[in-house]
Amino acid sequence: MNASSQGSGAETISFAGRKLEWRGATRESAAGTVVALKLHTDRGDIDARFHPAPAGSATKQLGVVWVGGAGGGLDGPARGLYPAASEQLQQAGIASLRLHYRRPNELRDCVLDTLAGVAFLAREGATRVAVVGHSFGGAVVISAGASSPNIKAVVPMSSQTSGTELTPAVAPRPMLLIHGTNDDVLPDRCSRQIYAAAGEPKEIKLYPGAGHGLDEVRQELLDLLVRWIPEKLAK
């Protein structure tokens, strides 16, 4: 597949006193139904993988942005949870964008990258978006969720509490917190504290015996996400 570009108009994105100019995207290659992308900004490119909704999808306005932990990455926890969930949601007519931060572990920059992903999906027609993040990414999606009108659902998994001060502002968007009770990196009390601070609607799912990466409950988690996300975005 030859490289092609999306849009030409720049869009300025702001968060916590920092700005990012998003300048569109270049499709670099495709493997099956997954497209490798570069999202262009004035602060460098964001590496991403796009799972577009099938042509003519009745749910083309729905989308998901998936982000990783402090190290970034495209695949998420639980042995490739993000591509697996993206493929299933794509089959249901919902687009997904998996992105790798420009500057992993820098909260404000990672939130801006996530919001750039939301802006990309909007240009693709998806204006009702869920954001899903693991570990450090839990703080990223909480912050992003409180900052964009296009974000309609927030899913922090195995989240830290640092950087989650905007938790109350996520409401009335639904929030689903997910954590393993055997997490030796960030104990499940982190998600319980976030849950206590969150407004309604909110849910928390604690998986007994599961660790930080949620490998032990991969299938259960996958089933939960591909059910919960479309349900909440459709409302």
**pLDDT on residue 7:** 53
Decide: helix, strand or coil at residue 213.
coil
Residue 157's Cβ-side half-sphere holds a number of Cα atoms within 13 Å equal to 26
What's the pLDDT score for residue 4?
A: 42
Tens-place pLDDT, residues 37-51: 999 999 999 999 999
Residues of the chain scoring pLDDT < 50: 1-5
Per-residue pLDDT, 235: 87
CATH topology of domain 53-233: Rossmann fold (3.40.50)
∠129-12-177 over CA atoms, to 5°?
30
Helical residues (DSSP H) of the chain, grouped into ranges: 77-91, 107-123, 136-145, 167-170, 189-197, 218-233
> For residue 121, which of 195, 41, 187, 66 has the smallest C-alpha distance?
66
Distances (CA, A) of 81 to 20, 220, 221: 29, 11, 8
The predicted structure's pLDDT at residue 9 = 78
Q: Which two tokens mark 7?
A: 């849009």
